[in-house]
Chains A and B, each alone.
Chain A
Amino acid sequence: MADEIKRREFVAIVSLLGATLATGCSSTAPSSSTGASAAPSNSAQPNKALTEPEAYTFLTPPEQAFIEAACDRIIPADPPGPAASAAGVPYYIDGQLAGAWGNGARMYRQGPWQAGTPQQGYQLALTPAQLYRTAMRAVDAHCTKKYNGNFSGLTSAQQDEVLHGLEQGTIDLDTVPSATFFALLLENTIEGYFADPLYGGNRDKAGWKMIGFPGVAAVYTNLIDQNYGQPYIVPPVSISDVQQGLAQDDMDPKHVALVRPLHRRAVGTKGR
């Protein structure tokens, strides 16, 4: 039991000094846990600008234009935060559609298929990726017919009109109920704006900064019942920050804080 308790103390410490987690410390726990600095020994170069060009993998060029335009009407550039596209949301959606979720992982896909009641929920045979593709083509066809151009080329007012029509289910997309597509697009846009940056959106933690969300790891034991009504504002920390050794415990208050602000996302953080 003593070993177990020691192990628990160690875990408590690394949850503050989260950076040590990424450095293969599990076999050498004592030396890692005694270090006051969270600077990693080998895996990260905090001050090096790490770059990897963003790239689309699922969305075709017309679909890229569609998603960028649609996301920026849902979360436009108005203050107090960047537009969805500036926060990387279209890349987030691309990654989700290309990955397990987009391909219907964890979705029950056995027939027979039939339309259900609203209370029974989604009953289309389409995966999320198929749903997007089918719907985007149909929306562009609708726009071409009505406005003589693809969705991405319309004015903001026209785009809003189309999105409202989708949301209210008044635009006929044939296979896909338009409200079903819009609800998913809205949900995914919000996800991309607020999910950990490792998934490609929330670039520079813009979504978190906009609302004051501190990110992944913190110990609030000595804060939660103190200074009622005072906002607790700190630079937010991502999963990558901790793994790459860019965050350390500032001890008081015990928030896992950045060593220095990040301006670029780190290598390997564009997830699927």
Chain B
Amino acid sequence: MATKLKSVDALTIGVGWTGGIIAAELTKAGLHVVGLERGDYRNTSPDFEVPQIHDELSYAVRLKLMQDAAVETVTFRNDSSQTALPLRYFVGFLPGNGLGGAGVHWNGTTWRFLPWDFETRSKTIARYGASMLLPDCTSQDWGITYAELEPFFDRFEYQAGISGKAGNIKGTLQHGGNPFEGPRSRDYPNPPMKVTYQGSLFRDAAAKLGYHPFNMPSANVTRPYTNPDGATFGACVYCGYCERFACEMFAKSSPQLAVIPVAQKTGRYDLRTGVNVVRINLDSARRRAVSVTYVDGAGREFEQPADMIFLTSFVFNNVRLMLVSGIGTPYDPKTRAGNVGRNYAYQANTGGTYFFENKTFNPFMGSGANGFVFDDFNGDNFDHHGLGFIGGADINVNPTGGRPIQNHPTPPGTPTWGAGWKEAVAKWYSRAFSVNAQGGVQSYRGNYLDLDPTYRDAFGLPLIRMTFDWGPYELKQSAYMADVLQKLGKAIGADHVATHPLKGKYTTQVYQSTHTTGGAIMGADPKSSVVNKYLQSWDVPNLFVVGASAFPQNAGYNPTGTVGALAYHTSDAVIKRYVKKPGPLVG
């Protein structure tokens, strides 16, 4: 029997970037918020201190900060004719766990999606005609435009202390920035990161080829910074331990730095860690979420009522908790009925490595996002007539640190072990660097999330089942981007260029990206979306589902900047409108 607790104004299920942003904004507005986080409490000090945090085996290989697959994993199949099987270990994508979520172990690349990304379907039809869209492509417009989100991108960038160089301020192009970005109201709060040798070669060659290179926007804060809420950050020291690690320098922006302390300072934030939400409870009409049920470390059940419930976990659990709780209609790919779970998408990365006989790099110097990028082949920034795909990729170099278990490149043809391998590893470690085309992924009828019929987690709940494969667009896009990377490598003067275009079926068995998206998608029409543009459930208006689960398809960018903007957009509407008059914010 669950112990019933006193009702609060709002609660968040999960405390990462989205749960932290919602908590900070609502508590500042005078509301009482409970944060429910399944993982441990952790903070820069003492949890992320050197030297232990610089342990490649423990963090990058054994995945100390990630979700424990023994407790909860994902089942996977490439298509619905197969039987999904549980991922026994996480390899291909790495869901986070613990306070701060993946906002602790991310690299920090922080984008605004392009204006085109929010209107993919209508703009594609307008420029190329409806025949450009494959019949099974279910990509759609977001129900929100870049212009509507712009103030909230700005909010996130200033709260998180992002470093970068503007490319377009109020319609005026800025030298050295990204000329393809949507107009922004002002520059980034902090200057761009320092340029590595690899970055300088990439920049110069890209410019020579007529592309438009610029500094990657970064949450690795470049100078001591205080955000508008008084939260403070240190300066990045380029130690090379961002990705899969936590930052000891207070310099990689995270929920712990930027928003959680802001909520705590109000005295109106009740943060509970080590508690696992197993269900959202609805009223008898199934139009209102009255509470959540959670289990603590002793196995005790609690029921926490709240006026507003924010589902702010990762993509998989946002969708899973909706399905487990019977909210909305599960998507059926055969009939296309239902929306919860549909339009699961991902990131299509095309990698390349450049090898130089006569250049030396120091690959261990770096940070998660001190790269250089060009966007000439992203979104609809280039003519797609005759290409057979829509969307594109940000093309970047980003030396994140040369931790040697996972970074010891060898040219094609090198033996995989033995004396030849060893000699090549020693020779090329400091004579090579990687580049990447981070491609968007369109949504298709057959790619979706639902509840697995067989496998369960440690709490007895069904696991989420992922059915996903590359579509024709991604395979063609990847081949195209590999050609760009080849051309760029030759322009830089590499002696060997290796590229890895996507081929065949999507596999979970090599790390590709943790940028999973969709399943609780936003839109203007309840017939084709799960949440409205405020991420408010069409079915249960006091439930907000916040995160990349709202993306109808994924762009050629890292998702966090857009996730953060959406969270600020939601909290703004809740404070200014919903609290005064609870009910649907659209329609």
Q: Which residues of A contact B (CB under 8 A)?
A: 1, 4-5, 7-8, 11-12, 14-15, 18, 21, 26, 73-76, 78-81, 101, 104-110, 112, 114, 116-123, 160, 163, 167, 186, 189-191, 194-196, 198-199, 207-208, 210-221, 223-225, 228-232, 238-239, 242-243
Contact yes or no, B51 A18, CB < 8 A: yes
Residues of chain B contacted by A189 (CB below 8 angstroms): 417
Please indicate which of the listed interface residues B200, B249, B417, B505 has the most CB atoms of chain A within 10 Å of its own CB: B417
Interface string of B75-92 (1 = CB under 8 A from A): 011100011111111010
Cα–Cα distance between A218 and B249 once the two chains are bound (Å): 11
Residues of chain A contacted by B87 (CB below 8 angstroms): 108, 120-121
Known: A196-B56, A221-B235, A225-B195. 15 other contacts (CB 8 A): A1-B230, A15-B239, A75-B422, A107-B69, A109-B88, A116-B85, A117-B78, A119-B506, A160-B418, A211-B425, A215-B54, A220-B240, A225-B194, A229-B359, A239-B52
Across the interface, name the chain A residue whose C-beta is closest to B363.
A213
Known contacts A190-B405, A231-B430; is-contact A216 B232 (Cβ 8 Å): no
- Could you say which of B54, B195, B422, B455 contacts A217, with CB atoms under 8 Å apart? B54
Contact yes or no, A242 B51, CB < 8 A: yes
Residues of chain B contacted by A7 (CB below 8 angstroms): 45
Please indicate which of the listed interface residues B82, B91, B426 has the most CB atoms of chain A within 10 Å of its own CB: B426
Contact yes or no, B250 A220, CB < 8 A: no
Contact yes or no, B55 A220, CB < 8 A: no
Taking the complex as formed, is B394 at the interface, i.e. its CB lies under 8 A from any CB of chain A? no
- Could you say which of B50, B83, B417, B506 contacts A114, with CB atoms under 8 Å apart? B83
Determine how close the nearest CB of chain A comes to the CB of B63; give it in whole angstroms.
Answer: 7
Could you list some 28 contacts between A and B, CB below 8 A? A11-B45, A11-B249, A26-B46, A74-B418, A79-B423, A80-B422, A105-B70, A107-B70, A107-B88, A112-B454, A119-B78, A120-B84, A121-B91, A123-B85, A123-B88, A160-B418, A186-B417, A195-B56, A195-B57, A207-B404, A218-B240, A219-B238, A229-B197, A229-B360, A231-B362, A231-B430, A239-B51, A243-B51
Contact yes or no, B49 A101, CB < 8 A: no
Contact yes or no, A225 B69, CB < 8 A: no
Chain A to chain B: the 4 pairs with minimum beta-carbon distance, closest first: A211-B429, A216-B54, A195-B57, A228-B197
Across the interface, name the chain B residue whose C-beta is closest to A218.
B239
Contact yes or no, B76 A224, CB < 8 A: no
Contact yes or no, B49 A21, CB < 8 A: yes
Determine how close the nearest CB of chain A comes to the CB of B439; give it in whole angstroms.
Answer: 19
Known contacts A4-B232, A112-B454, A211-B430; is-contact A73 B418 (Cβ 8 Å): yes
Determine how close the nearest CB of chain A comes to the CB of B47; give it in whole angstroms.
Answer: 12
Known contacts A186-B417, A242-B50; is-contact A106 B68 (Cβ 8 Å): yes
Main secondary structure of the interface of B (DSSP, over half): loop
Q: Which residues of B contact A (CB under 8 A)?
A: 44-46, 49-52, 54-57, 61-63, 68-70, 73, 76-78, 82-89, 91, 194-197, 200, 230, 232, 234-240, 248-250, 359-362, 364-366, 370, 402-405, 408, 416-419, 422-423, 425-426, 429-430, 454-456, 505-509
Residues of chain A contacted by B408 (CB below 8 angstroms): 190, 194, 211
Please indicate which of the listed interface residues A21, A198, A221 has the most CB atoms of chain B within 10 Å of its own CB: A221
Determine how close the nearest CB of chain B comes to the CB of A196; give it in whole angstroms.
Answer: 6
Contact yes or no, A11 B250, CB < 8 A: yes
Contact yes or no, B50 A118, CB < 8 A: no
Contact yes or no, A15 B237, CB < 8 A: yes
Residues of chain A contacted by B430 (CB below 8 angstroms): 211-212, 231
Please indicate which of the listed interface residues A18, A163, A213, A242 has the most CB atoms of chain B within 10 Å of its own CB: A213
Contact yes or no, A80 B55, CB < 8 A: no
Residues of chain A contacted by B51 (CB below 8 angstroms): 18, 21, 216-217, 238-239, 242-243
Contact yes or no, B89 A122, CB < 8 A: yes
Contact yes or no, B360 A225, CB < 8 A: no
Cα–Cα distance between A229 and B362 once the two chains are bound (Å): 8
Residues of chain A contacted by B68 (CB below 8 angstroms): 106
Residues of chain B contacted by A117 (CB below 8 angstroms): 78, 82, 505
Residues of chain A contacted by B46 (CB below 8 angstroms): 26
Residues of chain B contacted by A120 (CB below 8 angstroms): 76-77, 84-85, 87, 508
Residues of chain A contacted by B426 (CB below 8 angstroms): 80-81, 210-211
Known contacts A8-B232, A78-B419; is-contact A191 B239 (Cβ 8 Å): no
Known contacts A80-B426, A122-B89, A212-B429; is-contact A217 B239 (Cβ 8 Å): yes
Residues of chain B contacted by A238 (CB below 8 angstroms): 51
Determine how close the nearest CB of chain B comes to the CB of A256; give it in whole angstroms.
Answer: 8
Residues of chain A contacted by B82 (CB below 8 angstroms): 117
Across the interface, name the chain A residue whose C-beta is closest to B68.
A106
Residues of chain A contacted by B55 (CB below 8 angstroms): 196, 198, 216, 239
Determine how close the nearest CB of chain A comes to the CB of B212; give it in whole angstroms.
Answer: 21
Known contacts A4-B232, A11-B249; is-contact A118 B196 (Cβ 8 Å): no
Determine how close the nearest CB of chain B comes to the CB of A8; give it in whole angstroms.
Answer: 5
Contact yes or no, A76 B54, CB < 8 A: no
Contact yes or no, B238 A76, CB < 8 A: no
Residues of chain A contacted by B88 (CB below 8 angstroms): 107-109, 121-123
Cα–Cα distance between A232 and B360 once the two chains are bound (Å): 10
Across the interface, name the chain A residue whose C-beta is closest to B236.
A221
Cα–Cα distance between A18 and B360 once the two chains are bound (Å): 28
Cα–Cα distance between A118 and B508 once the two chains are bound (Å): 9
Across the interface, name the chain B residue whose C-beta is closest to A78.
B419
- Could you say which of A1, A214, A231 contacts B232, with CB atoms under 8 Å apart? A1
Known contacts A4-B232, A116-B85, A195-B405; is-contact A106 B54 (Cβ 8 Å): no
Residues of chain B contacted by A228 (CB below 8 angstroms): 197, 200
Determine how close the nearest CB of chain A comes to the CB of B21; give it in whole angstroms.
Answer: 21
Determine how close the nearest CB of chain B comes to the CB of A258; give it in whole angstroms.
Answer: 13
Please indicate which of the listed interface residues A5, A14, A110, A118 has the most CB atoms of chain B within 10 Å of its own CB: A110
Residues of chain A contacted by B370 (CB below 8 angstroms): 224
Residues of chain B contacted by A110 (CB below 8 angstroms): 86, 455-456
Across the interface, name the chain B residue whose C-beta is closest to A232.
B362
Contact yes or no, A15 B57, CB < 8 A: no
Determine how close the nearest CB of chain B comes to the CB of A269; give it in whole angstroms.
Answer: 12
Known contacts A119-B78, A219-B237, A225-B196; is-contact A194 B56 (Cβ 8 Å): yes
Residues of chain B contacted by A217 (CB below 8 angstroms): 50-51, 54, 239
Residues of chain B contacted by A121 (CB below 8 angstroms): 87-89, 91, 508-509
Contact yes or no, A11 B405, CB < 8 A: no
Cα–Cα distance between A225 and B197 once the two chains are bound (Å): 7
Contact yes or no, A191 B86, CB < 8 A: no
Known contacts A15-B248, A220-B239, A229-B360; is-contact A78 B416 (Cβ 8 Å): no
Contact yes or no, B56 A118, CB < 8 A: no
Residues of chain B contacted by A11 (CB below 8 angstroms): 44-45, 49, 234, 248-250
Residues of chain A contacted by B238 (CB below 8 angstroms): 219-221, 223-224
Contact yes or no, A191 B248, CB < 8 A: no
Cα–Cα distance between A8 and B236 once the two chains are bound (Å): 12
Residues of chain A contacted by B83 (CB below 8 angstroms): 114
Cα–Cα distance between A208 and B402 once the two chains are bound (Å): 11
Across the interface, name the chain B residue whose C-beta is closest to A15.
B50
Contact yes or no, A118 B70, CB < 8 A: no
- Could you say which of B52, B194, B402, B405 contacts A191, with CB atoms under 8 Å apart? B405
